[in-house]
Amino acid sequence: MTVPVSDLPIYALIFASVAIAILSLLPRDLYKAVIVGGGIEGLSLTVLFMRLLAPDVALTQAILASALIPALIFITVYKTSRWES
């Protein structure tokens, strides 16, 4: 089947969210891991939910999964150790 050109960014976003999830598990600095795996992955999923006809889910995802949970993990890393041994 043929695919319209306007759908091509969606395929890029799906691929990007999987690739970002793998990349965020690599660095030894836990702050970097949280920014990449929490924030950027949540934002890409937000745009994906917006495009998959669910704007209400996208609003909740934008607030909770890409802002609140990374902030909580940041506080945890600040209170414990920053470098993975």
Partner 1 sequence: MGELTIVNIQTASFIGSISLVLIGLVAVLFIDNLIKKVLGLMFLTDGVNLFLVALGYRVNVPGGAVIPIFTEGFFKAHNASMATAIGDFSARAGFCLPYALVLTNIVIGAATMSVVLGLIIRLYQRHGTLSSSEILTERMEND
Binding site for partner 1 (CB under 8 A): 1-3, 7, 10-11, 14-15, 17-18, 21-22, 24-25, 30, 33-34, 37-38, 41-42, 45, 48-49, 52-57, 60-61, 64-65, 68-69, 72-73, 75-77, 79-81, 84-85
Q: What is the nearest approach in angstroms of partner 1 to the Cβ of residue 33? A: 6
Q: What is the nearest approach in angstroms of partner 1 to the Cβ of residue 46? A: 11
Buried b (16+ CB within 10 A) or exposed e, 27-59: eeebeebbbbbbbbbbbbbbbbbeeeeeeeebe
The rounded distance, in Å, linking the Cα atoms of 15 and 36 is: 15
